[in-house]
Copies of this chain bind each other. A is one copy, B any other.
């Protein structure tokens, strides 16, 4: 059995938004007991990450690290049509992830205790982001 649905997230610029609850809701709607949940972001300048969900400084430290690794406005980039954060957003998206596969057990996401699913906006300005969820199983 397959169930497919989508939702959008309005981001407020660079940073993470937790979406674990939204995905869990779709898993419940699917009615499936055991299987897999595929989460897909239809964009190349944001990402999906599985990250520690207890201490918010983990996500801010991750941002500090990434903004030092992939500098906005670095003169090595030729692609800057949409500004200093344009090319860095594409690189961050490739270093992080556009799709996640999460296991389903007992009608629920089988995540570890400290795992949360986050949409990571890599652009500095707010964007509307489309997420397509496909649930497989029995």
Residues of B within 8 Å of A98, CB to CB, are: 50, 115
Q: Are B35 and A36 in contact (CB under 8 A)?
A: no
Set B34, B87, B101, B136: member contacting A40, Cβ < 8 A = B101
By a beta-carbon cutoff of 8 Å, the part of chain A in contact with chain B is: 2, 4, 34-36, 38, 40-45, 49-52, 55, 57-58, 60-62, 64-65, 68-70, 76-79, 81, 87, 90-91, 93-103, 105, 110-115, 130, 132, 134, 136-138
In whole angstroms, what is the CA distance A111 to B130 when docked?
A: 11
A contact face: mostly helix, strand, loop, or mixed? mixed
Q: Could you pull out 24 A-B pairs where Cβ atoms are within 8 angstroms?
A: A4-B34, A4-B103, A35-B134, A35-B136, A38-B101, A40-B110, A42-B111, A42-B115, A43-B115, A44-B115, A50-B98, A50-B99, A51-B94, A58-B79, A58-B90, A61-B76, A61-B90, A61-B91, A64-B77, A65-B76, A65-B91, A95-B95, A97-B97, A98-B115
